[in-house]
Structure 1
Amino acid sequence: MTRPVLAIDQGTSGTKALVICPERGVIGSGSAPVRPRYGASGLVEAEPAELLGSVLDAGREAVARAGEPVAAVGLANQGETVLAWEPATGRTLTPAVVWQDRRSENVCGELAENATELKRITGLPLDPYFAAPKMAWIRREWTREGVVTTSDSWLVHELTGAFVTDAATAGRTQLLGLHDVAWSPAALEIFGLSGERLPAVVDCAGPVGTTTAFGDEIPLTGLIVDQQAALLAQNALEPGNAKCTYGTGAFLLAQTGGRPSAGSSGLVSCVAWRLGGRTDYCLDGQVYTAASAVRWLTDLGVISGAADLDPVGASVPGTGGVTFVPALAGLAAPWWRGDVRGSVTGLGLDTRAGHLVRALCEGIAAQVVALADAVESELGSPLTALRVDGGLTRSSLLMQTQADLLQRPVEVSALPDATALGAGVVARLGLDPRLSPHLATPRCEPSMVYEPEIGPDEAAERLARFRAAVESLLERA
């Protein structure tokens, strides 16, 4: 019998770990929370020790519940979260600046004349979302000591002593050449990071070191950024396959094969993964606030949590004329306007909590439709369906709204922890190079398929209201 692997997804609000056996499926799981701090001027930070502690706690819990040793470990990470640390000791020098943090907007403003060149080199638009502006900001504002990297490099160093990052995560920095998949001297110079010591860029699958953090010494054989991990787990292995993950934000990715797309429709063109030296690419679109917008409604006392979306939303038949643009951390693709903030319009004395909930679901879904439209424009062909995963897919209201506005079936993954499963795929591939991604990727039918329940005319009318609200925000910002 093939020994299982430990797959860990270190996310924004928590870490999930699975022990996965090819024959028996998931045989153990664990989780641990992470509590980011939010503050003025777009501050979003996390304690590095909490990130590492959550990896150790979730991983050890999963192994203990499985009741048997694992053969290897794979790690998925947040992507654009960065920190400074001392490579000789692993001592952290700064908090972790989370991907949602907007404090590097001034850096981007100063470098605006380089935006076209940076997109040509890296495939990424100039925006505080990506790692390089945050890295430059840390160097300006906090410290010139140590190294400044994405969080995965520090976590891997603490687990194994290696100083590496995988090609997919490196592709989220805006420092990696899109075509040669190597650190770009030109991009480094633009950001004032030319003298930095950067981690080695490795394949997503392959041994990078060993760890005793989860029991006996085992190899770390898989590294990949979170959304690409979910794309892999969703078996999106052919050009045109697409998925959307609904977590803290919502992220739609579409595979484009061995050649990057131009990204001319406002989407990001980036590395999907590099396996066996071969690079596959994807188109990537982001909605910055999904579950984080639900948490915002929760903090206001409108609902008590995500589980309330369906019952509270069901208390009213529609939005009651309310339009919610949940740009609480700015508008991402395809607009790329981080300076824009959210709006709720159409409020009246008869507005109830259910109207706000439905308007939020419609606002999230409408942004995903904009991403899907951009993918179809880029690829020159329509998506036949959308594969979805993530915690918010538990909301029937949100998923039905998504199908209605998209006018396509929405297929909910039966694998609720797709990102962790993707980390398991690359761990398995790194352990056994003879495997193909098709053989290492789990196969399963969707747990639910939502078909559109409204016609195209009504969908177009509802989308037009949302787009008008967005245009009004863009004009005022």
Structure 2
Amino acid sequence: MSDLKYVLSLDVGTTGIRAVVLDQHTKVHGSSYVKTIPIYPHPGWIEMDPEILWSQCKQVITDAIKASKVPAAQISCLGITTQRNSFTNWNRDTGKPLHNFITWQDLRAAKLCREWNSSFSMKSVTTGAKLAHTFTRASRMKAASSFTFTTVQVSIRLAWIFQNIPEALPMAKAGKLMFGTVDTWLLYKFSAGALHATDYSNMSSTGLFDPFQMGWNDFVINMLSIPRSIFPEIRDTSGTFGSTEASLFGAPIPITAVVADQQSALFGECCFKRGDVKVTIGTGMMMDINTGSKPHASDKGLYPLVAWKIGDEVVFLAEAVASSAGSMIEWGQRFGLYQEPGQTQAMAESVPDSDGVYLVPGFNGLQAPYNDPNARAAFMGLTFGSTKEHCVRALLEAIAYQFKQLFDILKTDVPIRLNSVRMDGGVCRNAFLLQLCSTLTQTPLDIAETLDMTALGSAFLAGLAAGIWTSRDELSALRKSQRVFQPQPLSQAVRDTFRFWERTVQRCLSFDLKGSYFHDPANDKPGAALDRQESLRSMHAPKASTSGAASASKPHTKAREETYQGGVKRAAVSDSVVSWSADFPNYSPTDYTAPVVLSKPAWADVDVRTEKADLKFNAVDGAVDRTSFEGTYQIVDGLPRNPKGRTGLAGRGLLGRWGPNHAADPVVTRWQRDESGKQILVDGKPVLEFVAIKRKDNGQWAIPGGMVEPGDTVSATLKKEFGEEAMNSVEASEERKKELETQIDQLFGNGVTVFKGYVDDPRNTDNAWMETVAVNFHDDTTVFEAFKLQAGDDAGAVKWVAIDQSLALYASHVDFVQAAAKLHNAHW
């Protein structure tokens, strides 16, 4: 055994602590494991006692060395890998913690996080960064343009500490406070207080570090008013961190690597090349891709992190995270669904499906693509026929569905060809889950022979620094595969189940926002004040008929007309299969985007299927509002999905925007009068007239509306479109014109919303659709008598038209004028 060299690895995870003694051939000679002891002082708070954690680390190392029968003096080096973003602060003089570890799963700062993200300061930062990125195209500015605080990061929870623990700030100002994540605390304890240090991989995930500058992010630190003096020294991942105190284990052991857990697993999986992907499914699910020597700027929820820094070499990764995976399986055990996690595979395979049961995995909020810390978990679809087996299958499927979502984000957001996908973590023992992940993504998954890649990675990094291994080629030869899961054909049933699960998740978003359905001015977007005013008015108005607007009781019809404008034929879609949840295995829509749209006019998006684009769906994307009045719409294969169902046509057709295309339709009305000026009555009710234009593109009569252009408000668009399309000239003196303009401004300042939502428009497709706000502006005076209606460039003709049920209008416009008639109790 004289030729053997030994490495000690300490892996401090969220649910457990493991120490392993292994040799240069990666043979394990001794190991020890103990579960961590979480503390739950309040709902959503998750802590650990620093002193207890330190005692547990000492114990597992002592036990592993004893089990290996290798004296501490013969152990060449120690590598430490830890959970990220759990932190504490301690007294520099006494070494006593000021508070428990605030773990990465802790939600106490959720309110503070929301307040900061909606603050003027943050909006100024992101707006300024967007402008800077427009001119410089700098990746750092792109990342800053979509920067938000999250509760997973240290930054916002550390700010909470200074706001809620009175002693913290005075101690920091006096130079008596030391901050550290788990690795920093352990280095301090191993060195008997001599070392206050960390490594780049650990600090890069805190939200306090700038990966583009490779240093502390002074802007964020100053913005949150965090004293700079509390932070540790940042060192290379693989290098010299001193030694453990001799009295701890019988001899000093050199510490030659400190690395964050996911970066350690990436190194252990030998993902040394740009494009290599590893997925660790442990407590959470961490999907990482090696992005090479440059950090990846993302606006899709991927975090640019330092993978490792060794000398002059810096390797970065992009990471997508789901915080609940293995922790869900442990919860299922505590909940009584099974006695041991190992039973879950057989239970899931004992039933053909989940029988309509779905699990929303929001135990600690939801990360990408939802990024909602206020989401909560729920079983849905339970019936008296539901069994434990159905629930277990739903639980495992939820983990697999998260895997697919993260993988899809990785593929679309990172402009790097993905190499092999390597898997590790305790949950990878579940073959049912891994096979489903492979099938959903249609990607082979390489399962490591050693599932504990986190411990192996820190051993590799420590051993390289100590000279046990001299090259990464040696390490790659040591990495063995246990099994490669090959994807099975992706059936329509699996696709539909996944899509229904996505819809189910929407029901649990923002679940923990107390009072979230009430107005919060901080969450307003441009034009929100008008929309809110219109909504309050419309609460007292008759609801518009939705028969033309694709109501739940009747599917859209005009959006399925056989011949699309320009002669393109849609695929046939019957009423019974309009809904995406309806089984339609042979659905093959015609793919069409008009040449004028593809010519890249200013009002159109790029083709995201062929060009790289950073479109933020379900959000206000710069000046473009991509939110929907129908709620959150699905994104499938990178494309928005029509919330009202199939149309028989994919692509954008004649519409410029992917997803919702927002319009504004002014329903301008007056009373129909006879020559003497008296109101005309029909069946005892007065008759309304409205301004109609004849569309040049199809010859149909319509309301003179138009698209809400980027940066415009609904009110401005309503007035502008009416002026451009219907009221092209005024015959009056200049003085009278000014008087009339004042009256028009007053009229257009007091509209009543009669419809807001999806429009059954013949231009709609599976991936692009029309939505509108229809507002009634009623002239109870005679101000419009002074105006001569004249068609603008977009209209063939314009006139006042009496409102009654015989009207035939474009799209859903008849519903809007009917609603106006009901609002005024007029003839219909």
Q: Give TM-score, length-normalised by structure 1.
A: 0.94
Equivalent residue, structure 2, for 1:159: 190
Match of 2:105 in 1: 100
Q: Structure 2: how far apart are the matches of 1:25 and 1:294? A: 29
Q: Percent identity?
A: 27
Tell me, yes or no, if structure 1 residue 22 matches structure 2 residue 20: no
Does the alignment pair 1:73 with 2:83? no
Report the equivalent of 1:129.
Answer: 152
Partner of 1:148: 179
Q: Work out which of the residue numbers 205, 223, 227 in structure 2 matches 1:172.
A: 205
Q: Cα distance, 1:405 vs. partner?
A: 1.7
Q: Secondary structure at the match of 2:299?
A: coil
For 1:39 and 1:352, locate their aligned partners in 2 and report how far apart those are by CA, in whole Å. Answer: 33
Query: Taking structure 1 as reference, are residues 227 and 119 closer, same or farther at Cα in structure 2, changes over 3 Å only?
Result: farther
Shift of 1:180: 2.0
Q: What's the CA shift for 1:383? A: 4.1
User: Which residue is 1:181 aligned to?
Assistant: 214
Q: Which runs of 5+ in 2 are unaligned?
A: 130-140, 172-176, 514-828
C-alpha separation in 2, matches of 1:387 and 1:23: 21
Unaligned runs of 5+ in 1: none
Shift in Å, 1:394: 1.2
- Report what 1:111 is aligned to: 116
Give the distance between the partners of 1:388 and 1:124, measured in 2 at CA.
29
The alignment status of 1:367 with 2:402, answered yes or no, reads yes
Identify the residue that residue 446 of structure 1 maps to in structure 2: 481
Aligned length: 477
Residues 54 and 442 of structure 1: CA distance in aligned 2, closer, same or farther (over 3 Å)? farther
Alpha-carbon displacement from aligned partner over 1:279-326 (angstroms, at most 9, x marks no partner): 111011111111111122222211123122112223312111111111
Q: Quickly say closer, same or farther: Cα 1:214–1:180, change in 2 above 3 A.
A: farther
Q: Aligned ranges for residues 242-321 of structure 1 at < 5 Å? A: 242-321=277-356
Note closer, same or farther for the CA distance 1:358–1:106 as it changes in structure 2 (3 Å cut). Answer: same
Query: In structure 1, what is the equivalent of residue 49 of structure 2?
Result: 47
Give the structure with the larger helix fraction. 1
Q: Give the corresponding residue for 1:232.
A: 267
Secondary structure of the residue aligned to 1:209 is coil
1:455 aligns with 2:485: no
Aligned partners of 1:462, 1:383: CA distance in 2, in Å?
Answer: 27
Measured in 1, the distance between the counterparts of 2:294 and 2:460 equals 22
Range 298-307 or range 373-382, more displaced: 373-382
Distance 1:199 1:185, change over 3 A: same
Structure 1 residue 148, shift from structure 2 partner: 2.6
The CA distance in 1 between the partners of 2:455 and 2:195, in whole Å, is 21
1:443 Cα deviation after fit: 2.5
Give the structure, 1 or 2, with the largest relative contact order (CA under 8 Å, sep 6 or more): 1
Deviates more, 1:448-457 or 1:16-25: 448-457
- Give the corresponding residue for 1:334: 369
Instruction: Verify the 8 A CA contact 1:121 1:178 in the aligned structure 2.
Output: no
1:470 deviates by 2.1
Alignment TM-score, normalising by the size of structure 2:
0.55
Separation in 2, partners of 1:466, 1:169: 34
Paired residues of 1:10 and 1:76 also in contact (CA < 8 A): yes
Q: Which residue of 2 aligns with 1:56?
A: 58
Report the CA distance shift for 1:123/1:172 in structure 2 as closer, same or farther (over 3 A).
Answer: farther
Q: Distance in 2 between matches of 1:125 and 1:224?
A: 25
The residue matched to 1:218 in structure 2 has which SS?
coil
Q: Distance in 2 between matches of 1:196 and 1:470?
A: 43
**1:82, 1:134 within 8 Å by CA — same for their partners in 2?**
no
Asked if structure 1 preserves the Cα contact closer than 8 Å seen for 2:142 and 2:297, the reply is no
Separation of aligned partners in 2, 1:340 and 1:437: 42
1:104-136 C-alpha deviation (Å, 9 max, x unpaired):
112212321427469846996410101111111
Q: Distance in 2 between matches of 1:367 and 1:405?
A: 10
Distance 1:434 1:28, change over 3 A: closer
Counterparts of 2:23 and 2:378 in 1: how far apart (Å)? Answer: 46
Larger Rg: 2
Structure 1 residue 150 displacement after superposition? 1.2
Q: Which residue of 1 aligns with 2:240?
A: 207
| 1:404 and 1:459 in contact (8 A); partners too | no
- The question of whether the paired residues in 1 share the 8 Å contact of 2:463 and 2:469 is answered with no
3-state SS of 2:105 partner: coil
**CA-to-partner distance for each residue in 1:80-103, whole Å, 9 max, x for gaps?**
101111233322121111110010
| Cα 1:338–1:421 shift into 2, 3 Å | same
Say yes or no: does 1:394 pair with 2:417. Answer: no
Tell me how far apart the structure 1 counterparts of residues 77 and 282 of structure 2 sit (CA, whole Å).
26
Q: Distance in 2 between matches of 1:370 and 1:459?
A: 14
1:163 maps to amino acid: H
Query: Closer, same or farther in 2 for the Cα pair 1:46/1:441, shift >3 Å?
Result: farther
